[in-house]
Amino acid sequence: MISEIEEVYKEVVGRRMEILMIVSALQAGKHIFLEGPPGTSKSTVLKAISDHMGTQCCLITGNSDLTTSKLIGYFDPAETLSKGYKLEYFTPGPLLEAMQKGSYLYIEEFNRLPDETTNVFVTVMSEKKLTVPRLGVVESHPDFRIIAALNPLDNIGISRISRALKDRFSSIRMDYQSEEEEVEIVGKRTNLDKNEIIELAVAIARDTRKHPDVKLGSSVRGSIDMIDIYAKTLNGLGRSVNRYQLDDNLLLHSAMMSFRSKIWIYETSEKTPEEVIREIFNKFQKKN
């Protein structure tokens, strides 16, 4: 297992302790809650673990339309009506497939699932099997694991997760990474070697997380988007991001486009996202 973990470390910037704990919990047969705001590398870490631990990962996104039948599977209505309930007419859902194959079932936005859907997991996790009407009992493979990701700060369109279900998970919180690690992530994702721009984009994202008018700040995705948009804008003007001086006007507009949809302003604030971004941008440009 040590060599596999080392390979995961090489693929992910930072997160060494989180990776060690997640892999250890999975190896111990535990199902996991990954809690944290958007853009904190939950999916990146799990994909790297899945790739290097040799276990397939089935990804689904929680929403109100993900019913129990869609999750488990269903018999084809037309075929069963004319020919009866036969195994070949059954379409397995992601839960049943993961149980049978011994895969990781990774559910993003877990707290957006309907209550009746989440109740299915209690039985699966407790008894390691599931009884499907007209199909029979499906035993879960020993390697089957449920990994549920959620943003604990979100409060729109979510469902309450029961204590009985929470009790069956091990949980780890993944928060924003250090400034140095975020700079490294952005540099790798944008293939940019001009550190001055990377540092500015990362500084703006980090400052949105502590701004008094912002309830939820931007993840490192905002920094990546800002640089990508800025570089393409310069490219469209026949200029190179690494050969010309910084263009404050284009940088500001790139920041506006990248961050305005990624920050959540308090309902009581009188400021707009644009005003907050401009304020933060000007603060860092004055320092430079």
Residue-range domain boundaries for the chain? 2-173, 179-283
How wide is the angle at C-alpha 146 spanned by C-alphas 143 and 147, nearest 5°? 120
Closest CA to 215 of 256, 155, 278: 155
**Whether the predicted pLDDT of 218 surpasses 60:** yes
- Say what the pLDDT of residue 288 is: 55
Closest CA to 241 of 284, 187, 286: 187
Residues 24-69 pLDDT 10s: 999 999 999 999 888 888 889 999 999 888 889 999 988 888 888 8
- Say what the pLDDT of residue 7 is: 87
CATH topology classification for 179-283:
Helicase, Ruva Protein; domain 3 (1.10.8)
Q: What is the mean pLDDT of the chain?
A: 87
- Quickly state the pLDDT bin for 150 (edges 50, 70, 90): confident
| Domain 2-173 architecture | 3-Layer(aba) Sandwich (3.40)
**Whether the predicted pLDDT of 78 surpasses 80:** no
Residues 119-144 pLDDT 10s: 889 889 988 998 888 878 889 999 99
**Whether the predicted pLDDT of 73 surpasses 70:** yes
- Say what the pLDDT of residue 156 is: 53
The reported pTM is: 0.84
- Quickly state the pLDDT bin for 155 (edges 50, 70, 90): low
Residues 167-200 pLDDT 10s: 899 999 999 999 999 999 999 999 887 788 899 9
